[in-house]
Chain A
Amino acid sequence: MVTQEQEAEWAGHIRRIHEARDQAAFKALFSHFAPRVKAFLMKSGASETLAEECTQEAMATLWRKAHLFDPSRASVSTWIFTIARNRRIDMLRKQRRPKPEDIPWGPEAEPAQEDVVALQQESAQLAKALAELPKKQRELVEKAYFGDLSHSQIAAETGLPLGTIKSRIRLALERLRHSMK
Chain B
Amino acid sequence: MNEIKHHLTDEVLMAYSAGSLPEAFELVVATHVSMCDDCRARLDAFDAIGGAVIEDAETVALWENSLEATLALIDAAPEFEAPRRATNGSAFPAPLQDYVGGDLPAVKWRSVGGGVRQAVLSRSKKSSVRLIRIPGGVRMPDHGHRGMEMTLVLKGAFRDEHDRFGRGDVEIANEDMHHTPIAEEGEDCICLAATDAPLRFNAFIPRIAQPFLRI
Contacting B29 at CB < 8 Å: which of A98, A126, A167? A98
Determine the distance from Cα of A161 to Cα of B101 in the docked complex, in whole angstroms.
Answer: 40
* Chain A residues touching B, range: 35 or more
Q: Which of A15-66 contact B (CB under 8 A)?
A: 18, 21, 23, 26-27, 30-31, 34-40, 42-44, 48, 51-52, 55-57, 59-60, 63-66
Give chain B residues whose Cβ lies under 8 Å from the Cβ of A96. Answer: 98
Determine the distance from Cα of A110 to Cα of B64 in the docked complex, in whole angstroms.
Answer: 38
Closest to B26 in A: A98
Contacting A130 at CB < 8 Å: which of B31, B49, B86, B95? B49
Determine the distance from Cα of A86 to Cα of B101 in the docked complex, in whole angstroms.
Answer: 21
Give chain A residues whose Cβ lies under 8 Å from the Cβ of B43. Answer: 100
Q: Which of A140-171 contact B (CB under 8 A)?
A: 141-142, 144-147, 149-151, 154-158, 160, 162, 165-167, 169-170
Give chain B residues whose Cβ lies under 8 Å from the Cβ of A39. Answer: 57-60
List 8 extra interface pairs beyond A40-B57, A77-B52, A144-B18, CB under 8 A.
A26-B71, A35-B62, A43-B57, A64-B78, A101-B34, A144-B20, A147-B18, A169-B41
Residues of A in contact with B (beta carbons under 8 Å apart): 1-2, 18, 21, 23, 26-27, 30-31, 34-40, 42-44, 48, 51-52, 55-57, 59-60, 63-68, 73-82, 84-85, 88-89, 93, 96-104, 122-123, 126-127, 130-131, 141-142, 144-147, 149-151, 154-158, 160, 162, 165-167, 169-170, 173-174, 177
